[in-house]
Amino acid sequence: MIPISRVTKILVTKGNCHVAYRNIHNQPIRNYIQSVQRYIFSSYYNFVKNYETKVELKFPAAFQIYRVVKIGLQDLFIDMKEFVRVLRKINAHDKNLECLTRKELELYIRMPHDMRRVAPVLLISALPFANYIMFPLAFIFPRQLLSTHFWSLQQRIQFAVIDQKHKLKYYKPVFRSLQAKLNLLKKDPIFPYWSKCIALLGSGLHPKPETIAKCIPLFGYNEVYHLKNINSSHAVRKNSLFIENA
């Protein structure tokens, strides 16, 4: 008569062998399914890739618009995510912009302007059949209807020249406004450095970065050149130097 422990051991051994046999038996099926899935995916990818190539050859102008829109939307969404992160960073520092890097500050100034310009195009294009009219119209007037994300390299250079010409007319009035308050700083210890900067700029030369850095406190809170203490015309002109001409 076989002991109970021996019977249990035999049953467990047989059970494990059966499970192992079943796994080995099913392994070729899994490999076959995975190979079929890889084949279907690679075939679909090659089909889409070849189809895009054929469309590009047959309709180069339309495909160029498609590519610009695709890349532009990707860049726009990336900047929007970064803009949200910058806003959270500002709120975490009691809305103090000094916590931002130069790149973050540029994005903080530029992004709302870009979003206001491109939002109507994207919203109207979402309507049925409206994209067939809106996108070609936007590409006819890219500077007015599209943000920088959708501009080609040539357009960026061209529009940058136009914006720079627009900003040039504000340089002299802003400089005169800075110069007008120079007499208020005669007793300030920073006055020698600031007067030197003004003199160099007035003669068409550039002051050294170290000299400019010493004058930063003049633009601090409640100082002479703080935004709250400059006149409205100066503020509007200064703002025009940093915001692109719409």
Give tens-digit pLDDT for 149-180: 888 888 889 998 998 888 888 888 888 888 88
Which residues does 102 contact at the CB level (< 8 Å), separation at least 6?
none
Q: What is the pLDDT of residues 90-131, one digit of tens each?
A: 888 888 877 888 889 889 988 998 888 888 888 888 888 887
Q: Rounded to two decimals, what is the model's pTM?
A: 0.57
156 vs 103: CA distance, rounded Å: 18
Q: Return the pLDDT at 12.
A: 47
34 vs 77: CA distance, rounded Å: 34
